[in-house]
Amino acid sequence: MTAFRSRLSRVALASALALGIAGLGASPAMAAAPAPAYSKAFIAAAGPLQAAIEKVKKAPSPEGLADLKAQFEKVAPLATAPDDKFAVGNFGIQIGSLAQDNAIQRKGVELMIASGKAAPDMLPKLHFYAGNFAYEAKEYAAARASLQAAVAAGYQGADPLVLLAETYFQEKQDKEGLPVLIKAIDAAGASAPEGWYRRALGAAYTINDYPAAVSVAAKLVKGYPTKQNWSAAIAVLRDLARLPSQDTIDLMRLMARTNSFAEERDYGEFVQAADARRNPGEVKAVIDAGVAAGMVDAKKTFYAEALRVATPRIAPDKASLPGLEKDARMPNATAATLAGAGDAFLSYGEGAKAAELYKLALTKANVDKPVVLTRLGIAQVDAGDYAGAQESFGKVEGARQGMAMLWSTFAAQKAAGK
């Protein structure tokens, strides 16, 4: 929330809300406005306070600021008429700004709201600032009420929604805060900061909201496609979806394509899902990559055993590819045979050949469409057919749909040269 709070400086608030007070030194711009109806007791006390404010503005001093705050506390109770409250509220904002005192600024804002005299275009801002001050005071229920009032009054922009969501997060109410933050992200569009997405993704993970996590993850890596964000997006989907190994391998392949391995666990998940007996080439490649990155110790039993199984299989596995293709292209070949051959070619980086076989598999009966469409899309990415890949990923349904959304985002970025 640091970037958000930086917009709410005391000077900005004073500049936005400080007005000349009619009858007590009115500004020319307000001369044509209807004369305010101040109470006599308030006028008598407010005049000296306004003069003191102007004096301190010209020559600030600790003593002068202390005197202003004391005068304000004496004058505020005398504000009984609506115009009194509006005027003394304005004084409170100015004094709070000069003294860097949030409590006085907040009281000033609340008095202006309570006066009923705030112009329609000012009221949303007043509610917003009141909510911000309440948030800073850790009075989250009060902050929510003010921020909701700001939104209801027509405050434009996502800021009240972000702070409103944060009031829930601060009280461990992520389930309530997440949809509010997502609404803020949608309202901000392309200008939504990276931190908002990451905050939302963390909340979705905390409450195990997989659909929300998928949506936020896709938006995060679309707007901010860093390795760190790809890693977080993929890891959240992996943990929340609890996919079977043959689904997990395709998600971990995306981590490999985005080079977003962040810890040893990521390499281990890939190795386990790939299975050294089924995809020996990929298993060895990812272990080697982990060793090169300094995250994997190939001497550990888990990796050493995987290499022991995978390494001698690679050469004969590659040698079998032509035979697999020949069998797959037989007229009576089943969907499983074609898909298996496609898997073999995909595993060794031959995307174009794998894509041909997956397309043929899709014409057969009993084909596992979600799996084959996903891997067709991956093969098309590897072959540089990014438009075709996005089309394939867009057809994926069921448990793999979230994974396909991330893959499609990656394909779109590759198409854009990113």
> Which pLDDT does position 9 carry in this prediction?
38
C-beta separation of 343 from 375 below 8 A: yes
Using one digit for the tens of pLDDT, what is the confidence trace for 147-189? 999 999 999 889 999 999 999 999 999 999 999 999 999 999 9
C-alpha closest to that of 93 among 11, 156, 4, 200: 11
Domain residue ranges of the chain, discontinuous segments joined by +: 1-118, 243-316, 320-418
> Which pLDDT does position 12 carry in this prediction?
44
C-alpha closest to that of 43 among 29, 58, 25, 57: 25
Would you say the C-alpha torsion 65, 79, 134, 162 has a positive or negative sign?
A: negative
Q: What is the pTM of this model?
A: 0.85
| CATH 3.40.50.1370 at 320-418, yes or no | no
Only one residue has tokens 């800021």, namely 159
Within 171-298, residue ranges assigned H as helices are: 174-188, 194-206, 210-223, 227-241, 245-257, 264-274, 280-292
DSSP, residue by residue, 252-275: HHHHHHTT---SHHHHHHHHHHH-
Measured between its terminal Cα atoms, the distance across the chain in Å is 29
Q: In a 3-state reduction of DSSP, which class is residue 1?
A: coil
CB neighbour list of residue 25: distance below 8 Å, 6 or more residues apart: 50, 54
Give dist(CA 310, CA 323) in Å, integer. Answer: 20
Using one digit for the tens of pLDDT, what is the confidence trace for 242-269? 888 889 999 999 999 999 999 999 999 9
Which segments in the chain show pLDDT lower than 50?
A: 1-12, 14-32
> Which pLDDT does position 10 carry in this prediction?
38
Q: How many CA atoms lie within 13 A of 101 on its CB side?
A: 19
As a residue count, the chain comes to: 418
> What does the block give as tokens for 252?
């971990």
> Which pLDDT does position 34 carry in this prediction?
65
> Which pLDDT does position 11 carry in this prediction?
36
Q: What is the DSSP letter of 364?
A: S
CB neighbour list of residue 160: distance below 8 Å, 6 or more residues apart: 128, 131, 147, 150, 151
> What does the block give as tokens for 411?
């394909």
